[in-house]
Chain A
Amino acid sequence: MNLVLPTHAVRVASNVAWRSVALRGWGRLGSAPCQAARPERLREVADALLAEGGRNLIAHGGGRSYGDAGLNGGGAAVLTARLNRMLAFDAETGVLVAEPGVTFADIIAAFLPRGWLPPTPPGTAFATLGGAVANDVHGKNQHAAGCLGHHLEWLDLTLADGTTRRLSPTGDAEAFQATIGGIGLTGIITAVALRLLRVPSNAMVVRRRRIAGLEEYLEAFRTARDASWSVGWIDALAGGATLGRGVLETAEHATESVAIPAAGTRRMPFDAPGFLLNPLSIRAFNAAYWRRVPAGGDEQVMHANRFLFPLDGIGAWNRLYGWRGFHQFQCVLPEAEAPRGLRLLLEAVGQAGAASFLAVLKWMGRPGVGMLSFAQPGFTLALDIPARPASRALLLRLERITRDHGGRIYLAKDSALSPQGMAEMYPRLADFQRVRARLDPQGRLSSDMSRRLGLG
């Protein structure tokens, strides 16, 4: 049921002001008009959930999910980015208690100088903790460190009825596991207790080497299994003998710190015009990226931010793909299936001529603790697919290949997965739906994504 609210705003419950906004995912595929509240005080979260007519609602954090996980067209959204206070830190255990709107960038700014890093930083520092829990995010250390959920002491979750519960591995473990990776569908996370990672400096020693093709890539990742951090960039447009060509980066923490890089970022001031995005220009860009690395590899000491968040230096880079926006596709395939499956995925993208800038390949070690956690042991591939009339068909093909190889698609990135695919890829879906029905019996938490995936 839709909210009945006038165009601008009214005050509903005690302190909650709503206004109409159009929210978009990071892929800018379309905009979802909804009524939004933007609490700045803890109690306003419960007020928003209790608001009269606030039937159908989802939390929205930093808006860094590519698809529709944080969107709720025609319904309501609770923007949690302004609940962004750090509440407590224990220097013995490294446990930080913070509100959900605190970002990885906030944590790094405050704690990296003191020798602490968020345990599993995703590829952007602008993700919020609430959003990161809800997708159980992973970093370039997934093979060793697992996902965010492995590093949580507890969570405070405000339920649809306005009550708040503290969830942990020992306190309603089921609800804890449903909320980690639960794409916002169990309630609104209002506090997170997270164990930070002790690091010796703010810097990393990053080794880069060229990889000629897919087989060599998978082998290189296995050889690099002891590296603390590793990530591979793939030229998704290289085909034939060079299919899977790329650059593997591995990193260790440096013993000495480096100067903090200047804060200034470049920004995409407008949507890139379509002609910049033809396969030729992207092919040239990707090839240049590959060649920039010397044949014998290289080694550089850099600030952790530069290694962890290479794209954050260019503000609004998502406008690079033009006004039509883009899909991102990320899947993980079990190790045994990876050589064949990855080849088929890359070939499909190549045949479709879908112009993806650098794609990312990564090795995963530990499955996530959430019922809908994405991570499972194997290889994960992520690539951009500019929105074109033909891109739906391509995404369908990629889903098929993923299913055929026992793989799974990442909801944080997704905009196209089918309900059948979802059910097949996420075997604990039924458990998740059961816990959700207990926590939110009236089904008030719902999003464009949950409806698309047939989860209600």
Chain B
Amino acid sequence: MAAPTETWLVLGGGSTIGRAFAQRAAAAGAAVLVAGRDVAELERSAADLRLRHGVPASAMLFDALDLASHRGFARACAALAQGQLNLLLAFGSMPSQAECDAEPGVARRMVETNVTGAASVLTALAPVLRVQGGGVVVALGSVAGERGRPRNHLYGATKAALAVFLQGYAARHARHGVRVLNILAGPVDTALTWPLPKLPFMASPDDFAAGAWRLARQRSGQAHLPGIWAPVMAAIRAVPDRVFNRLDL
């Protein structure tokens, strides 16, 4: 097979969505770096990508909470990438609101992972993208970040913070060829949502990854996935507070 023209770095490579996206990328001939904390598991995923698709794939240790490691991590990624390095930000934590309320430590960890950690690793990777003359950054935001709901408003807040961070990041690096897409994801049937009661318009990871791969080729800014969430969230955002506050969402 010809040498890959791009390498996708999947941050949170062990996540359900990250794994499904990596399959898409590898099927299209891209090299893949799967990054996360559980390296033994990630090695298995990397072996699978190599075997199924014949592309280079390796596992990398990455902890969003270990801020000091991010620069070194970015350098290692740059050294391993073949062709253009692109990023999928696919890690995140989502403890329930009740856990966050009961345990301030849990809440802090989530904010540090989803916001501080995300901002830190993207910042560390920015010079790599600029030096190579650009790149694509896709992040998994959430519809939860569009209007705070009783059930998960702290999680939603982390995704809203991420969205604003990404806007500025896009503006800052755009003239160096960096293109940023924040996918406002609806519920996906993953390990994260497995314990939750049935959610509306639940997407399968494969369908979601196919959609994300398509969007990653075409779009920047923000996009809902599955697309049905664009009108649904428009409607939900338009509900007046006094009505919204009486709904149990």
A residues neighboring B (CB under 8 Å)? 8-11, 17-19, 38, 40-43, 82, 85-89, 99, 106, 109-110
Contacts and interface: CB of A to CB of B under 8 A. Distances in A.
A38 B194 contact: yes
A85 B197 contact: no
A110 B53 CA distance: 7
Interface of B: 14, 16, 19, 38, 41, 44-45, 47-48, 51-53, 191, 194-197
B41 A17 contact: no
Given A42-B41, A85-B44, A86-B48, A11 B195 contact: yes
Contacts of B44: 42, 85, 87, 99
Contacts of B195: 8-11, 17-19
Contacts, number: 49
B51 A8 contact: no
Contacts of A41: 14, 38, 41
Most buried by A among B16, B45, B52: B52
B35 to A, nearest CB: 16
A86 B197 contact: no
A89 B51 contact: yes
Nearest to B52: A110
Most buried by A among B41, B45, B47, B194: B194
Nearest to B47: A87
A8 B196 contact: yes
B52 A9 contact: no
A87 B52 CA distance: 10
Contacts of A17: 191, 194-195
A189 to B, nearest CB: 16
Contacts of A40: 14, 16, 19, 191
A382 to B, nearest CB: 31
Contacts of B38: 41
Contacts of A82: 16
Contacts of A18: 195
A86 B52 contact: yes
B187 to A, nearest CB: 14
A106 B49 CA distance: 12
Contacts of A87: 44, 47-48, 51
Contacts of B52: 86, 106, 109-110
Nearest to A18: B195
Contacts of A38: 191, 194
B41 A9 contact: no
A85 B19 CA distance: 10
A341 to B, nearest CB: 44
A330 to B, nearest CB: 31
Contacts of B14: 40-41
Contact of B47 (A43, A88, A110): A88
What are the 10 closest A-B residue pairs judged by CB atoms, nearest first?
A: A9-B195, A85-B48, A17-B195, A86-B51, A110-B52, A86-B48, A41-B41, A85-B44, A8-B197, A17-B194
A86 B16 contact: no
A109 B23 CA distance: 13
Nearest to B41: A41
Nearest to A110: B52
A10 B51 CA distance: 36
A436 to B, nearest CB: 29
A85 B45 contact: yes
A418 to B, nearest CB: 37
A85 B40 CA distance: 13
6 contacts: A8-B197, A10-B195, A38-B191, A43-B41, A86-B47, A87-B51
A42 B40 CA distance: 10
